Structure 1
Amino acid sequence: MSIIVRGASLARVLGAFALAVGLTGCMSVYVDNRPAEVAASQFAKPAEPKPVQLFFEFQTKGVPNQQGTAVLKGRIADQVRASGVFSSVSETPVDGGASLSIVLDNVPTSDDVFAKGFVTGLTFGLAGSQVGDGYLCTATYRAPGAAEAVVKKSRGILWSTIGAKSSPEGATKADSIDAAMTRITRQVVSNVLNDVTHDPAFR
């Protein structure tokens, strides 16, 4: 848990938030159920899958976050491999030159880049307080010899509550920050992979 706390802004934001409002007690983390994880069986699988070079980067408000990248890189690679969309997934160039870049950006839910695609809120009240932390996932796929890349985006939110008596609507409680990050990355990555494979330019 401590590694993820340092790698993403969520815990830092909530730590300052808790002190600012003077609340005590347990902090709970929830993963918004939107978007739901897409099963790999729903991806459009090529008749003859080809190898792909995978790039992954975790960012905090658009700035590369090396520690977050190191923590999540293996999980993302495993998910792409398990998708069955590619014959192999490598960090190095592959035959044909196909590449897939996945960027996961941890941004405030108030940022225009996030808010345009997701309705979020911040509430204060006697029943407790709630704050949302946004995650914007961008996948860029370039097929062998393609002039233009296929770009798809997906957004997710981690909700954190302090002193709240009820869970955020439409969200599932996570056992830990690490479990929350695992779930939200699977959700957004599965959605961009699904969208990429169903794009007419995917081949």
Structure 2
Amino acid sequence: MCPFPLIASRSPIGAPSAGLTGTQTACADVSESTVHKKNQGMQNNNSKFGGGAFMRRIVMATALAGAALLTGCASVYVDTATKEVPVSEMKKVADPKPVQLVFEFQTKGGPNQRATTLLKDTVAKEVMDTGMFSKVATDPTPNIGMLSVTLNNVPLTENAAGKGFVTGLTFGLAGSAVTDGYICTVSYLPAGQATPIVKTARHAIHTTMGNANPPAGVQKSASMLDAVQQMTRDVLSNALKDLSYDPAFN
């Protein structure tokens, strides 16, 4: 096995999370003691990245891009069952109105501030580019509609797969691969109304270690960060498309 898997210890979402092993292999010329120190440093600094497993994967993927991803030790894939929806496939809004955007990334339903900060610009751009709203404000703004976007990182277990968590997603991966699921919830509350319009979409990211074959129906990403940003655009655009076709909205 390669000494640089991005995922080595149990994560709070039920799948292994970021870490390093101390095993020496030909995959990288790094001593066991050096790897142990890096691992210990990551564990000691976990509190700095309040997002737990999600943020540790982002940080580790960036820090070890040269040593891990480029040597084939770890590879990250975005599932293609959920694809980015172009603006041309969304229903054009006849009378766009201004909206206040509120975004939160969650891990198992709990707020993840670091990940929220990391992805908020990606989310805001995706919403603005649709043209569904005349203006997208990110600060509190009175007398306009409210668009709440929540992206929840959830565990994908065998039970979830058996129940068809997302139709078409790739499940049944080998032990050398893990899958993170994401549920995007878009809630639009028109100004002066009491009942929001809610749409959801789902997605997944797969990570393989060592010589494991990639799952079918996926697209390889250069890094975990690239994968997460792509996943965000994909899943959010699907939820926004559904919103654009809802008669209560448009």
Structure 2 length as normaliser, TM-score?
Answer: 0.68
> What 5-or-longer segments of structure 1 have no aligned partner?
none
Counterpart of 1:117 in structure 2 is: 165
Distance in 2 (alpha carbons) for counterparts of 1:202 and 1:116: 29
> Which amino acid counterpart does residue 124 of structure 2 have in structure 1?
A
Higher Cα Rg: structure 1 or 2?
2
Q: Structure 2: any 5+ residue segments left out of the alignment?
A: 1-6, 28-72
| Alpha-carbon shift at residue 14 of structure 1 (Å) | 4.1
Change in CA separation of 1:190 and 1:121 when aligned onto 2, cut-off 3 Å: same
Paired with 1:146 and 1:112, the residues of 2 have a C-alpha distance of 38
Specify the alignment match of 1:63 in structure 2: 110
| Higher RCO (C-alpha 8 Å, min separation 6) | 1
Shift of 1:23: 10
Cα deviations across residues 72-99 of structure 1 (Å, max 9, x unaligned)?
0011001111111111100234464211
Question: Residue 15 in 1 paired to residue 21 in 2?
Answer: no
1:17-166 matched pairs, under 5 angstroms: 26-94=73-141, 96-110=143-157, 117-118=165-166, 121-124=171-174, 129-166=176-213
CA contact (8 A) 2:173 2:215 kept: no
Give distance in 2, aligned partners of 1:121 and 1:98: 38
Alpha-carbon distance between aligned partners in 1 of 2:238 and 2:194, rounded to the nearest angstrom? 24
Amino acid at match of 1:117: F
Q: Percent identity?
A: 41
Cα deviation digits, residues 88-130 of structure 1 (max 9, x gap): 10023446421110000111112978965326535336xxx21
Change (3 A) 1:90 1:13: same
CA deviation after TM superposition for structure 1 residue 147, in Å: 3.3
Which of 54-63 and 24-33 deviates more? 24-33
Does the residue aligned with 1:30 lie in a helix, a strand or coil?
A: strand
- Normalised TM-score (structure 1): 0.82
What does the per-residue CA deviation read over 1:136-188, in whole Å, with 9 as the maximum and x for residues that have no partner? 11000112333311111111100011124432100000000111011100000
Q: Helix, strand or coil for the counterpart of 1:88?
A: strand
